[in-house]
């Protein structure tokens, strides 16, 4: 079931009143579990069994870690749980990748390996809920929380349908306690949740899905397009993937708020970043912090000298790239981002900063130097997106080569404009993207772009709601495609 379908809207319309009609917290949690498994099973009911196995593995591992045992036994319990999780993820997502890579490496040495290739469907969202259950067991092992024996609440935490398929990847220390608390309906939070959902629907249906045909046109046939057209296609993909993925997070957070839950912020205006390090503090925050806490810091973080620090950064980004997909494109994308982040992590003037700070400063307009740093960072991010989106490494190399070398002066402006006008929005693309950037810039100091509307006079507030709803109905792509991150 996808957020942008009438099926989901009907599901939510039935779930919401029934949920709040139940006054008992346990009954609400049971409904969440049932509704979440129904929501997930809408794709394929067999996926539900896999998610349940993954959940129970960490549930019982957590209970075992509750009992006082010797350090060696605790490590064995943790290792067993981690091995089980990684084995499930590796079987469904990475088996063919490693088998094919091993065969290619053997062929390069003159050996012949005949390894089987599995024809299995990648379960939707397996990377997300696997990381969520793994973090639960690791946090119990570290003593950050005590494992719960309440299986209903635990299953609700793992399967919570708003964020189940594409995040945010919630920590048990933040989300699990909310299932033990009494929840009271708050009108102001519900309205704010609807505002965030509205902005999510606008980004997905109006921007992301209408840019998708242009992106597909450019990346499916890089040899048949000019360099400026491939550059335009790459910028379109940068906007598409942001609007697509952040829209899912916006809708997820909004639905959760309707039900009385608070989910972590997953995007904080990343394209207004002034460095690659800042970008990765603002992009897919739940995954970035997951790798920081469970990979980078255990490896040693910034301790042990520059070479070890560099190794830890690069390994973390390599694994992050591999998490995104079973392809050398993603591995190289992760490595490239690690290399781009390294100079800032070594700089003595580098400042960590917080994602709740306004990017670009607090003023209405950014300073020229700030704009230049933003544009340079965006350009570097786009170089990485080429590897992320291209079908093969050869295609990625061809695209970058043509973007850098294939130019034709002022004629390029005509070709770039003509290329964009081939999309469903034609010339209106520029205006709608401008609206996107303006709203995100004005709302960059808030938890989400439309949060500031709460302080507007009601006529202006409702005029903004009407304008966005009209844009969705008028320009929304009727053939909405699945969210990009469903494949991860």
Active centre residues (catalytic): 324
Distance of CA 345 to the CA centre of its chain: 23
Cα 217 to Cα 36, 56, 221, 230: the distances in Å are: 36, 44, 7, 9
Rounded to whole angstroms, how far apart are CA atoms 196 and 450? Answer: 6
Radius of gyration of the chain (CA): 23
CB–CB of 358/445 below 8 Å? yes
Closest CA to 444 of 353, 360, 378, 352: 360
């Amino acid at each position: 079931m996808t957020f942008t379908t009438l099926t989901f809207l009907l599901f939510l319309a039935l779930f919401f009143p029934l949920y709040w009609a139940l006054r008992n917290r346990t009954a609400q949690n049971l409904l969440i579990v049932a509704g979440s498994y129904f929501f997930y099973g809408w794709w394929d009911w067999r996926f539900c069994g896999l998610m349940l196995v993954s959940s129970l593995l960490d549930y019982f591992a957590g209970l075992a870690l509750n009992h006082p045992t010797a350090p060696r036994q605790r490590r064995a319990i943790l290792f067993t749980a981690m091995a089980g999780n990684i084995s499930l993820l590796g079987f469904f997502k990475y088996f063919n990748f490693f088998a094919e890579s091993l065969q290619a490496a053997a062929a390069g040495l003159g050996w012949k390996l005949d390894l089987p290739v599995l024809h299995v469907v990648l379960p939707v969202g397996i990377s997300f809920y696997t990381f969520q259950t793994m973090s639960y067991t690791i946090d119990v092992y570290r003593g950050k929380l005590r494992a719960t024996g309440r299986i209903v609440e635990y299953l609700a935490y793992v399967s919570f349908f708003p964020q189940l398929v594409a995040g945010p990847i919630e920590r048990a220390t933040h989300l699990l306690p909310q299932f033990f608390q009494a929840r009271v309906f708050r009108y102001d939070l519900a309205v704010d949740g609807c505002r965030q959902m509205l902005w999510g629907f606008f980004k997905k249906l109006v921007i992301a899905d209408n840019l998708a045909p242009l992106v597909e046109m450019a990346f499916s046939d890089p040899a048949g397009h000019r360099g400026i057209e491939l550059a335009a296609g790459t910028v379109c993909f940068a906007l598409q993937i942001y609007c697509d993925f952040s829209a899912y997070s916006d809708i997820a957070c909004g639905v959760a708020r309707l039900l009385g839950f608070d989910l972590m912020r997953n995007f904080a205006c990343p394209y207004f970043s002034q460095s690659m390090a800042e970008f990765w503090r603002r992009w897919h925050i739940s995954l970035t912090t997951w790798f920081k806490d469970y990979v980078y810091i255990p490896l040693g973080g910034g301790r042990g000298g520059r070479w070890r620090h560099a190794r830890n950064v690069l390994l973390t980004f390599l694994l992050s790239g591999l998490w995104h997909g079973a392809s050398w494109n993603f591995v190289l994308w992760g490595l490239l981002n690690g290399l781009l982040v390294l100079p800032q992590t070594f700089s003595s003037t580098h400042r960590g900063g917080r994602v709740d700070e306004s990017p670009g400063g607090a003023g209405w307009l950014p300073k020229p130097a700030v704009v230049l740093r933003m544009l340079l960072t965006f350009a570097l991010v786009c170089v990485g997106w080429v590897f992320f989106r291209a079908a093969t490494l050869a295609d990625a190399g061809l695209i970058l080569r043509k973007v850098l070398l294939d130019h034709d002066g002022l004629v390029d402006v005509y070709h770039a404009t003509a290329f964009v006008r081939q999309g469903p929005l034609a010339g209106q693309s520029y205006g709608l993207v401008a609206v996107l950037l303006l709203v995100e810039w004005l709302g960059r100091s808030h938890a989400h772009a439309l949060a500031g509307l709460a302080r507007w006079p009601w006529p202006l507030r409702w005029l903004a709601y009407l304008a966005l709803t009209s844009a969705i109905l008028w320009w929304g792509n009727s053939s909405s495609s699945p969210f990009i991150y469903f494949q991860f």
